[in-house]
Structure 1
Amino acid sequence: MPAPARICVASCFTSAMQSAGGFSAARRQRMATMANLIEACLEALGARKVDGKWLGTNEGGDAGQCAPLAHFALYKIVGEDAEAFLQGQLSNDVRQLDGARAQYTTYSNAKGRMLANMLLWRDGDGFYMMLAADLAEQVVRRLRMFVMRSRVNFQALDTLPLLLDEPGAERLSTALGLVMPADPMQQAGVDGVAVIRLPHAGVLVVATEGDGRLLSSALENSKIGVAGCNWADARFVASGFAWIVQATQEAFVPQMANMELLGAVNFRKGCYPGQEIVARMQYLGKTKRRLFRVYSAAALAPGMALQCVDSPETEIGQVAYAAELPDQGCEALVVVMVSAWEKGIICASVDSALTRLQLPYEIPDLEN
């Protein structure tokens, strides 16, 4: 009879470490990172990593499920001036972070176009920032350019965030010995593990300190299923939050992507790059482009251009974020002109008409 998953995980990691006996101490240390231990746990539960993407084993079940967010990066920001520095760079009010609540926020260029959006929270002596991995190094490099003489340090964390559905989150919280956050953006934590309830998307769990053994052990004991990255992306699409990735950098002002509707912009906090543009759009104009959730029979990808049915030569928006569905087709978040829905919208590159789906929040600029 096969050994339980918790034994498999321990033996999997132990075997990996033993086989590294001939390697240098530095190499063995790299093998013992948080990410490696959590990956070993997921593999012992039956998940597979193919070409950098995780393929799950359980797309449902009463026990719930989790999905590894391998396409995201996590940084810790520390230093005496960290709060003041982030306050002057990001669109949300960093001073409101008190260790009990997290926030979405954005980072824009001088024209108000988003270079990235992030999940930001505070714990102990530092801030933690999660953003899309394909642009993370570039964005952090740019932020470091403005540190000047401020006492601020960015530390990349080698960890693997997990997104969980409600049943999975309840099981994992019990295994961790904490009370699951009940409200959106409420934050909890125990011994270097952060737990954050994301609006409409699920619960984020990530090991931020130590070697990740507490989270790995809790994951084993909870016996939840493992889903693939498409499952996680589909939950973000359904939540109406479009993560900025490399293909959509500098494409949208925050309001175009509904960032202020998800609490990612604070209009009273003071100056930050692009703040005048963002404020002008909020108070002196009307947002003519908005983010919508759609279905397409063909696969979509961030950055794809969109056109009206009767004017295929004119671009009226683009795909912001997308997720392939288990059976067929794709759900996506697209930023398009609000008025374009009257005529119909297509993605000409794949010859697919878009069907509008419901978002979990209201869009104030709609005409009908």
Structure 2
Amino acid sequence: MTDLNETTQTSWQAFLTEQGAQLDEHGKIVTFGHAEVERYLIKHGPVLTSLNEQALLKVSGSDAFDFLQGQLTADLAEVTDQNAQLSSYCDPKGNVLAVFLIFKYQNDFYLSFEGSLQSAIQKRLSMFVLRSDVQVTDAHDHLVHIGYGGEFGDLDIQRRLNTKVKEVYETGLVEMEGMEQVCVVKVPGPYHKYDLFGPADQIQQAWLKLRDNCDFTNSQDWRLLNIAAGIPEITRANSGTLMAQFLNLDKLNAINFKKGCFPGQEIIARIHYRGKVTKRMLRLHLEEALSLSAGETLKLKDSAGKTHSFDVISANPDVLSGTRCLAVASLKPLESVEGNLMTESGKAAIIEPMPYSLTDE
């Protein structure tokens, strides 16, 4: 990920340090000093964290809409000042290069995604601009990104920031003096969960307002909320390795099959209309504490001793014990499994229901 603008980086990281955050070299919050408590608190919230290590690109210019409409899988016509969306960027083979949260802010489009992909995605998008009036720039020079969530997070956002953003992917601006440029986006989660973007000084004010009624958590454990919601995270380790449907992007309304061409559209559409999706992303709870990273292969055994391979998408230590992860696996071999799958050391591995249906119509 490219360096943040010096002024924005310095002021925001100094602010986080004042709040007690311990940061790694990428700007991720390792802990606020109570790691085990931070993980436990995330179960119900309310919790607050910095997500500024995520990539954030601004796509501007008179041709920005047409350009993105021809590059991404979802229908950009659905992105307005009041509505964001989940979308993806694929290669010509239909393999996913990145998964984006897209929102509109001050008449420009913004793409939020995993930080390790910032340079590669910015370079690739810019390569296809050609003679269009489109500029693809790093937005970290003027916007900071934080996350907030909890069982009553919608009421907290309304009461503390005077902003009604109730439905998933609904967006709005904070209606309080000194924070009018803070954009609030409701995103999927096990409870009410929000991404906030804005200038560093205004985000600091929003942070302090929300802090009155919540606790801090770290960047790593925030991932548990995305795992619970079944939202895939594509990183440098697995970019370009999996088909869009394998990541359930069709079930997450991140693919529009009627809008026209985009990279990989022909193959993705063929699978949708003519074939059956052979692999799906599943949510697993492992009773064993395993250190798993995106791009790794997790091998689990069934009661008959047969080995099943899972491509890890994201993983994190669970709140109380064990490991929770998202991983892609072939469906047909799993249909005949009786009882729990097991890790190589014999601990149970349970396939949990997703918060959305995986059944093909």
TM range (shorter): 0.7 to 0.9
Matches within 5 A, 1:208-219: 208=198, 211-219=199-207
**Which residue is 2:147 aligned to?**
163
Q: CA deviation at 1:89?
A: 0.3
The 8 Å contact of residues 300 and 319 in structure 1, kept in 2 or not, is answered as: yes
Q: CA deviation at 1:234?
A: 0.2
Q: Please say which structure displays the higher CA radius of gyration.
A: 1
**Which residue is 1:134 aligned to?**
116
Distance 1:98 1:293 in 2: 31
Residue 129 of structure 1 aligns to which amino acid in structure 2?
L
1:364 aligns with 2:338: no
More displaced 10-residue stretch of structure 1: 211-220 or 303-312 = 303-312
**Which residue is 2:297 aligned to?**
305
Distance 1:261 1:174 in 2: 33
Aligned to 1:204, the other structure's residue is in SS state strand
**Which residue is 1:175 aligned to?**
160
Indicate how the Cα distance of structure 1 residues 175 and 214 shifts in structure 2: closer, same or farther if over 3 A, else same. farther
The 8 Å contact of residues 238 and 294 in structure 2, kept in 1 or not, is answered as: yes
Matched positions, count:
331
Distance 2:111 2:325 in 1: 24
**Which residue is 2:185 aligned to?**
196
**Which residue is 2:208 aligned to?**
220
The 8 Å contact of residues 119 and 130 in structure 1, kept in 2 or not, is answered as: yes
**Which residue is 1:336 aligned to?**
329
More displaced 10-residue stretch of structure 1: 126-135 or 187-196 = 187-196
The 8 Å contact of residues 113 and 251 in structure 1, kept in 2 or not, is answered as: yes
Deviations 1:181-226 (A, max 9, x none): 1111111113221111112354333334xx4212211211332321
Q: CA deviation at 1:41?
A: 3.4
**Which residue is 1:8 aligned to?**
none
Q: Which one of 229, 244, 249 corresponds to residue 239 of structure 1?
A: 229
Aligned to 1:75, the other structure's residue is in SS state strand
1:286 aligns with 2:279: no
Matches within 5 A, 1:1-368: 30-33=5-8, 35-52=9-26, 53-54=28-29, 55-56=31-32, 57=34, 59=38, 60=41, 64-158=46-140, 159-166=143-150, 167=152, 170-179=155-164, 181-190=165-174, 191-200=180-189, 202-208=192-198, 211-222=199-210, 223=212, 224-296=214-286, 297=288, 298-307=290-299, 309=301, 310-312=305-307, 316-341=309-334, 342-343=336-337, 354-365=349-360
The 8 Å contact of residues 184 and 195 in structure 2, kept in 1 or not, is answered as: yes
Aligned to 1:98, the other structure's residue is in SS state coil
Q: CA deviation at 1:282?
A: 0.6
Q: CA deviation at 1:356?
A: 1.0
Aligned to 2:123, the other structure's residue is in SS state helix
Which is helix-richer, 1 or 2?
1
Q: CA deviation at 1:32?
A: 3.0
Indicate how the Cα distance of structure 1 residues 149 and 358 shifts in structure 2: closer, same or farther if over 3 A, else same. same
Deviations 1:226-280 (A, max 9, x none): 1011221000000001111111112211111111111100111100000011101
More displaced 10-residue stretch of structure 1: 355-364 or 238-247 = 355-364
Distance 2:45 2:358 in 1: 34
Distance 1:230 1:212 in 2: 22
More displaced 10-residue stretch of structure 1: 165-174 or 235-244 = 165-174
The 8 Å contact of residues 306 and 345 in structure 1, kept in 2 or not, is answered as: no
Distance 1:117 1:44 in 2: 32
Aligned to 1:261, the other structure's residue is in SS state coil
Residue 293 of structure 2 aligns to which amino acid in structure 1?
A
Distance 1:30 1:146 in 2: 25
The 8 Å contact of residues 65 and 165 in structure 1, kept in 2 or not, is answered as: yes
Distance 1:36 1:332 in 2: 34
More displaced 10-residue stretch of structure 1: 74-83 or 62-71 = 62-71
RMSD, aligned α-carbons: 2.5
Distance 1:88 1:194 in 2: 26
Indicate how the Cα distance of structure 1 residues 150 and 353 shifts in structure 2: closer, same or farther if over 3 A, else same. farther
Q: CA deviation at 1:63?
A: 7.6
Distance 1:85 1:30 in 2: 26
The 8 Å contact of residues 98 and 239 in structure 2, kept in 1 or not, is answered as: yes
Residue 91 of structure 2 aligns to which amino acid in structure 1?
N
Normalised by the length of structure 1, the TM-score is 0.82
Indicate how the Cα distance of structure 1 residues 284 and 293 shifts in structure 2: closer, same or farther if over 3 A, else same. same
Normalised by the length of structure 2, the TM-score is 0.84
Identity across aligned pairs (percent)? 25
Indicate how the Cα distance of structure 1 residues 345 and 253 shifts in structure 2: closer, same or farther if over 3 A, else same. farther
Deviations 1:270-295 (A, max 9, x none): 00000011101111011010011001
Alignment gaps of 5+ in structure 2 = 175-179
Aligned to 2:20, the other structure's residue is in SS state coil
